[in-house]
Amino acid sequence: MTSIAVPSAGLAPRRAWLTDLPVLLVAVVWGASYLAAKDITTAHTVPAVLVLRFGLVVPVLVASGWRGLRALTRAQWRGAGLLGLVLSGIFLLETYGVVHTSATNAGLIISLTMIFTPLAEAAVTRVRPPRAFLAAAALSVTGVVLLTQGGGFTAPSAGDLLMLLAALARTAHVLLMARVTSVRSADSLSLTTVQLGGAVAVFAVLAATPGTGTAPWTVAAGFGGREWSGLVFLSVFCTLFAFFVQMWAVRRTSPSRVSLLLGTEPLWAAAAGITLGGERLGALGLLGAVLVLAGTSWGRRAAA
């Protein structure tokens, strides 16, 4: 299997920014998703909330992309199905992790994806990543550490371990999107639909298994306006929009570049916490925010 990612060096600066900006917006909404997920999810409702979250968007995708779905080959269905299984694992790990740890720890640990991805990509391609890129990633992680200290970094917990596993799963998903040959010629909408459909099937099976928590319809019946608003935000922006953009962008740039942009997610999580959650950001946090932005900018140039 060979990578379908287009080297960044082949992109004109304006075209590169047109690719980067939607990915950066994904980082913004994913950063805000921590508050939204914690607000509507408990340890007993994770599979149910995920069923509701994905169930809101999959029918729309199927209806709008039915012709493309019918055109998929068996190999493309298998490839997209594999990506969907990985995607379901990411969301289970992230959601359980957020429930069992602080948003600060979650944002810090999940940002390690931008370190894991270039290292994994280098291991697969046997091409050592540029030192400047690794230095930029390290600078961004340092910024994340400083950024999250204002919230109080606690001792590692079960939730922290789940977020670490989620970061590894994110890495696998980004690399698979770029390297699974069977999905190379399929359109992004169809691939996204199959992925999300496969993921919601996994969540539905888990929700129907005795002892896994509250049923989806019970959770939905107990939701008020605030919970439904949070669920719609998670469904439309953090799921549908985010993964469509990621699938689209990884074909036009490198997985490492996508992951570095998504690595600004903790910065936006802090911004959402300050503006919406009433959190305070001290001097170290402000310094961390500057380092994250500087590291991301430097890494983009290094990736080119």
pLDDT of residue 52: 95
Which range among 19-28, 49-58, 105-114, 116-125 shows the weakest confidence by mean pLDDT?
105-114
d(CA 277, CA 227): 15
* Secondary structure, 3-state, 139-204: HHHHHHHHHHHCCCCCCCCHHHHHHHHHHHHHHHHHHHHHHCHHHCCCCHHHHHHHHHHHHHHHHH
Q: How many CA atoms lie within 13 A of 109 on its CB side?
A: 28
Going by C-beta distance under 8 Å and a sequence separation of 6 or more, which residues neighbour residue 88?
198, 199, 202, 203
Contact between residue 139 and residue 114 where contact means Cβ atoms under 8 Å apart: no
Report the chain's mean pLDDT, rounded to a whole number: 81
d(CA 304, CA 297): 11
pLDDT of residue 259: 67
What b/e readout covers 222-237, taking b as 16+ CB neighbours within 10 angstroms?
eeeeebeebbebbbbb
pLDDT, greater one: 91 or 1? 91
**Per-residue pLDDT for 5 more than 50?**
no
Structure tokens at 271: 């911004």
Going by C-beta distance under 8 Å and a sequence separation of 6 or more, which residues neighbour residue 16?
8, 253, 300, 304
Burial of 39 (0-12, 13-18, 19+ CB in 10 A): middle
pLDDT of residue 279: 67
Q: Residue 154: which pLDDT band, with cuts at 50, 70 and 90? A: low
Which range among 109-113, 118-122, 133-137, 147-151 shows the weakest confidence by mean pLDDT?
147-151
**Per-residue pLDDT for 199 more than 80?**
yes
Q: Residue 296: which pLDDT band, with cuts at 50, 70 and 90? A: confident
Q: 125-135, pLDDT tens digit by residue? A: 888 888 888 88
pLDDT of residue 230: 93
**Per-residue pLDDT for 6 more than 50?**
no
Nearest to 106 by CA among 44, 42, 146, 156: 156
